[in-house]
């Protein structure tokens, strides 16, 4: 083979290697984005359940216009969802800040590792007037 042919083969191999690397990176980023989207959806579902708890009378097992009963432990989460939902294929969900009269903070930790080796974390602050979803990382 001539020197030009060898250089063309090497150049082709470099282009293929770069293309494969870019494709792997895009697939990983897509997995992280999909995981965050799924977690945000689950947190919005949990926030709707927290609002339902807030609106229900205390005599019926609700909060009676308070989030106080939603404690930052398994017992607090059990008032919203089953154990199967609090740890599903999208991530793990907890009450990160115990409920007060005016708000409760829910947190989701994903299962798709970020490039820095951590897991994505999203919080949802639920108030009587609505909720705010915040992407931590």
pLDDT digits (tens, 9 = 90+) for 96-119: 999 999 999 999 999 999 989 999
Percent of the chain with pLDDT over 90: 86
pLDDT per position as a tens digit, 55-78: 999 999 899 999 999 999 999 999
- What percent of the chain is helix, strand and coil (3-state, nearest 5)? 45, 20, 30
Q: What is the pTM of this model?
A: 0.82
Give the whole-angstrom CA distance, residue 39 versus residue 112.
11
Q: Name the pLDDT band for 2 (thresholds 50, 70, 90).
A: confident
Q: What is the pLDDT of residue 1?
A: 64
Question: Does position 11 have pLDDT exceeding 80, yes or no?
Answer: yes
Among all chains, which residue has been given the structure tokens 């293309």? Answer: 19
Spatial CA neighbour of 50 closest among 28, 77, 24, 72: 77
């Amino acid at each position: 083979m001539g020197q030009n042919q060898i250089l063309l083969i090497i150049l082709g191999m470099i282009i293929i290697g770069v293309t494969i690397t870019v494709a792997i990176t895009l697939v990983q980023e897509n997995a992280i984005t999909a995981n965050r989207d799924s977690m945000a959806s689950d947190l919005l579902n949990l926030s709707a359940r927290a609002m339902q708890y807030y609106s229900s009378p205390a005599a019926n097992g609700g909060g009676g216009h308070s989030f106080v009963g939603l404690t930052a432990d398994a017992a607090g989460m059990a008032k919203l969802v089953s154990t199967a939902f609090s740890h599903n294929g999208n991530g793990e969900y907890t009450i990160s800040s115990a409920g007060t009269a005016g708000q409760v903070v829910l947190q989701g930790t994903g299962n798709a590792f970020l490039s820095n080796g951590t897991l994505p974390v999203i919080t949802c602050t639920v108030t009587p007037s609505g909720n705010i979803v915040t992407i931590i990382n």
